[in-house]
Amino acid sequence: MGITGQNSADAGRAILAFCAEFGGYPEATEDGTVVYRFDKLLLRADREDRSFGGLSAPVRRLKKFSGNPKTMNVWFGIINSVNLFFGSYFFYNALSTGAVSAGVPYYGSWLYGMTYVLFSHFTENPLPFLGIGLGLIPLIFSLLFWLIPALRFLSEKKENDQSRLENFRRIGFGYLWDKPLRVEPADLEGPAPECRPANIDAARDRVIKDMGAYSVPEVEINDRGAAVYSFRELEREKEALNKYRASVDPKQSEIGKTVFDSDA
């Protein structure tokens, strides 16, 4: 549960899948605690440290929305805001005003009228150019510029929220395993931003309930009115596992020296 962040039922299915993939098998200790052995994983020639830097499980990193410098994003925003404004301006006036005749009094938008008259010197009908070239195309481009990053931002935010929750569950289950007695919900804390979900109180309650489904705790109320949980069955299982591990001799599974034929 501490490695995957899964509840007890899903973690049970996961470890059975690990047994099938890595040649593991279950075994019972003297007091009936079920442990899983993976002797084949000991058959390594190297001695590389494969721990997770002191954590019980690897932390899932958060996605970064943009790798651009801040000033670059500011300029992109300014340029596309200008596109959005003028694209909307010309597209709206092309639809609402239409053609403007040179020398005829015009009481609409001054910029639109002047631009229309200017381009009328190069083409008989500048309306499509103003409506589509200066209006619709920049408008669609700027809308896509804002819409696509907005959708990606919302998607990444949802994924990052899920990552924070999964990381917190790993840390929380690991904490309960390390210190199963007299646990208060406030003891469950994310050590880094990657491990702090938005609703941390709900996440704490979920971690305790999921562990409680595996090992029912004793509950008491302290003098501050807060619930205190003691997972005594988890403590007993932890002691049994430590005793079992101490009895295992890893050297029995070590690889011996390899001899190569000189003619090979």
Over residues 60-96, the pLDDT tens digits come to 777 777 777 888 888 888 888 888 898 888 888 888 8
List Cα–Cα distances, 9 to 20, 103, 154, in angstroms. Answer: 17, 82, 31
Over residues 100-128, the pLDDT tens digits come to 776 555 656 778 888 888 888 788 888 88
Structure tokens at 225: 């009115």
pLDDT value for 168: 92
Domain ranges of the chain: 8-63+166-248, 70-156
pLDDT value for 173: 92
pLDDT value for 243: 87
Confidence band of 229 (pLDDT split at 50, 70, 90): very high
Please compute, for residue 84, the number of CA atoms within 13 A of its CA located in the half-sphere on the CB side: 12
Reported in sequence order, the residue ranges of the chain that DSSP labels E, i.e. its strands, are: 25-28, 34-37, 218-221, 227-230
Angstrom distance (rounded) from CA 121 to CA 115: 10
pLDDT value for 113: 81
pLDDT higher than 70, residue 228? yes
Q: At what angle do helices 200-214 and 137-178 cross, to 10 degrees?
A: 40
pLDDT higher than 70, residue 56? no
Give me the sign of the Cα torsion angle 169, 49, 35, 238.
negative
Alpha carbon 118 to its chain centroid, in Å, reads 54
Q: Length of the chain in residues, anyone? A: 264
Over residues 188-217, the pLDDT tens digits come to 988 888 888 989 999 999 999 999 999 899
Q: What are phi and psi for residue 62, nearest 5 degrees?
A: -80, 150
List Cα–Cα distances, 30 to 37, 214, 234, 240, 241, in angstroms. Answer: 15, 20, 16, 8, 10
Reduced to 3 states (helix: H, G, I; strand: E, B; else coil), residue 149 is helix
Structure tokens at 6: 């899964």
Over residues 39-54, the pLDDT tens digits come to 877 766 555 555 444 4
List Cα–Cα distances, 66 to 3, 149, 175, in angstroms. Answer: 30, 10, 34
